[in-house]
Amino acid sequence: MMMVLGACLFVLMFILMKSSNQAFLLASFTSAGDWLASWAPFSYLFVALFVAAPFIAIYVIKTWPEHEEPENPMAKYRREAVDDGE
């Protein structure tokens, strides 16, 4: 996992160094900020939901009840192995 994260950060460093990419990212962030301001109450709810969703999913997964295997109905009809050691 750490190798993948390191490789992604290495590639990201070179992507951010190029001036055309910097201009694109700046324009993207500016338009995202404008969108947040123009749709103020709804956009903040959307962002809050987007940020909270992984934590809610982790909580649901951790508190989900364990699966219990049902009892085998044929177990009471099973014969016991005959002990020939005597």
pLDDT tens digit sequence for 60-69: 999 999 888 8
Residue 24 belongs to some domain of the structure:
yes
Residue 13 belongs to some domain of the structure:
yes
Residue 32 belongs to some domain of the structure:
yes
Residue 79 belongs to some domain of the structure:
no
pLDDT tens digit sequence for 35-86: 999 999 999 999 999 999 999 999 999 999 988 888 888 877 777 766 665 5
Alpha helices in 1-86 (DSSP H): 2-17, 19-38, 40-63
More confident residue, 28 or 70: 28
Which tokens is 51 given?
């940020």
Residue 21 belongs to some domain of the structure:
yes
pLDDT tens digit sequence for 3-15: 899 999 998 888 8
Looking at residue 85, its amino acid is G
Residue 20 belongs to some domain of the structure:
yes
Residue 50 belongs to some domain of the structure:
yes
Residue 82, pLDDT score? 64
Tell me the C-alpha distance between 80 and 54, whole Å: 51
Residue 69, pLDDT score? 85
Domain count for the chain:
1
